């Protein structure tokens, strides 16, 4: 359940006098809280819209700064100050939307109206999500789903993509449903589906989806050890969503296998071919023929040569970048790569490096379902 800050403020303006002090763009509002103690600011969670009277921050810049830092780090949706004003030097560095309301504001009434609005939004969102899930599960858009989606900004004919976020750690999947800040020029619906988080996106351009993917990584990735985003091709109707979903899932698996943050389906290339054979006996034999000795050595000697080799390849043969990725000295990487060349016959020239790249890709894909 969430609403943009702009939507919520527009709603309460009908009854309450509220002024925007800084840009209202920010994380979607999930709930509203009253807070006076700056030390508790970081405990409210993402999407909190906070109301304060400034009881413990008035004429105390340090306390106000502590509150703002806590709210910013917690990805709060905004801060409303009742009966006061923000110091000018605070406005530009707050990092969250700021609002003021006059002294004497009925805070209980304000919070009731906000909760009423958010509850209505939740009901709408749940129905939209249900409609999208029915399309993905049944493979067709029913007349009822089409009508409802049209009413809520998702017409039958429009420019659609599906984005699939695959958490980097299954243990943190449960806490990964923090909605990213809105991307200008897009409309999206976010929901869990299977073991992923999906976004059905109305967007005109690939660059807009790339910008949205950055927001997803910034928001969800920090909660799930990075995570991976797959983005489908663009389609022009709701009927194509099942295909877009399959493309997004495929691209997210490719991103996970390649340890690449974001992959567009149209850039999957070789991985599409490899995925068609990844579970075959021939693929297993191919990987074993190239990487088998290294794996056996690692198991017997408790080394991590394969991990170093994969990092080296992912960094395009850059020893320094591989060292940075692994958190070790570049000389250590050099020594391990030299050992691999000398003892396992691994070739880093053409065509050997192509065979090695394919073997690593197949091996990585084994761990991505």
Q: What percent of the chain has pLDDT over 70?
A: 86
Distance separating alpha carbons of residues 106 and 101, to the nearest angstrom: 10
Q: In angstroms, rounded to a whole number, what is the distance separating the alpha carbons of residues 279 and 300?
A: 26
Mean pLDDT of 210-218: 72
What is the per-residue pLDDT across 166-192, written as a single tens digit (0 to 9) for each?
887 654 444 445 666 667 777 788 888
- Domain limits, the chain: 5-106, 153-267, 275-365
Q: CA 287, CA 356: separation in Å to the nearest integer? A: 9
d(CA 171, CA 174): 7
The band of 273, judged by pLDDT with boundaries at 50, 70 and 90, is low
pLDDT of 99 above 80: yes
Q: What are phi and psi of 294, to 5 degrees?
A: -65, -45
Between 307 and 187, where is the model more confident?
Answer: 307
Distances (CA, A) of 224 to 167, 196, 232, 235: 5, 12, 22, 29
- 314-325 pLDDT per residue, tens: 777 888 888 888
- How much is the pTM? 0.60
Which CATH class, in words, describes the domain spanning 5-106?
alpha beta
Mean pLDDT for the chain overall: 82
What was the pLDDT predicted at 293?
Answer: 92
Residue 184 CB coordination number (10 Å): 8
Long-range own/partner contacts, residues 307-315 (CB < 8 A, 24 or more apart):
308/333, 308/336, 308/337, 308/340, 309/336, 309/337, 309/340, 309/346, 309/360, 310/360, 310/364, 312/337, 313/356, 313/357, 313/360, 314/258, 314/259
Q: Are strands 19-20 and 31-34 parallel, antiparallel or unpaired?
A: unpaired
pLDDT in tens, 338-353: 999 888 878 787 777 8
Q: Per residue in 40-75, pLDDT tens?
A: 988 887 788 999 998 888 888 888 889 999 998 888
| Domain 153-267 fold | Alpha-Beta Plaits (3.30.70)
pLDDT at position 278: 66
| pLDDT confidence of residue 177 | 58
**CA–CA distance, 65 with 72 (Å, rounded to integer):** 10
| 235-252: average pLDDT | 89
Q: Does the pLDDT value for residue 92 go beyond 50? A: yes
What is the structure's pLDDT at 174? 44
Assigned CATH for 275-365: 1.10.10.2840
């Amino acid at each position: 359940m969430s609403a943009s800050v702009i939507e919520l403020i527009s709603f309460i303006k009908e009854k309450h006098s509220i002024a925007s002090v800084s840009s209202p763009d920010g994380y979607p509002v999930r709930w509203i809280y009253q807070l006076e103690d700056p030390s508790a600011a970081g405990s409210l969670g993402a999407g909190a819209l906070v109301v304060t009277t400034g009881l413990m921050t008035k004429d105390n810049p340090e306390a106000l700064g502590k509150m703002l830092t806590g709210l910013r780090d917690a990805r709060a949706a905004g801060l409303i100050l009742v009966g006061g004003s923000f110091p000018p030097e605070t406005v530009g560095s707050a990092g969250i939307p700021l609002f003021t309301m006059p002294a004497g504001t009925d805070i209980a009434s304000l919070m009731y109206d906000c909760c009423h609005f958010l509850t209505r939004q939740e009901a709408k969102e749940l129905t939209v999500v249900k409609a999208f899930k029915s399309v993905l599960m049944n493979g067709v858009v029913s007349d009822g789903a089409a009508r409802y989606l049209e009413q809520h900004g998702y017409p039958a004919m429009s420019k659609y993509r599906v984005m699939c976020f695959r958490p980097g750690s299954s243990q943190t999947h449960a806490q990964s449903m923090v909605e990213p800040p809105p991307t200008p020029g897009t409309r999206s619906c976010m929901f869990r589906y299977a073991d992923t988080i999906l976004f059905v996106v109305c967007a005109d351009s690939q660059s807009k989806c790339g910008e949205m993917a950055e927001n997803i990584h910034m928001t969800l990735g920090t909660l799930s050890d990075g995570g991976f985003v797959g983005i489908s091709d663009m389609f022009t109707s709701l009927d194509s969503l099942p295909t877009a979903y399959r493309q997004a899932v495929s691209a997210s698996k490719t991103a996970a296998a390649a340890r690449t943050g974001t992959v567009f389906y149209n850039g999957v290339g070789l991985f599409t071919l490899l995925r068609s054979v990844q579970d075959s006996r021939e693929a297993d034999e191919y990987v074993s023929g190239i990487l088998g000795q290294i794996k056996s050595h690692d198991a017997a000697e408790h080394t991590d040569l394969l991990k170093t080799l994969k990092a080296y390849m992912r960094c395009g043969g850059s020893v320094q970048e591989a060292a940075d990725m692994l958190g070790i000295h570049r000389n250590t990487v050099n020594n391990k790569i030299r050992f691999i060349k000398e003892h396992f016959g691994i070739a880093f020239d053409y065509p050997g490096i192509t065979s090695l790249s394919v073997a690593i890709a197949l091996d990585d894909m084994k761990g991505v379902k």
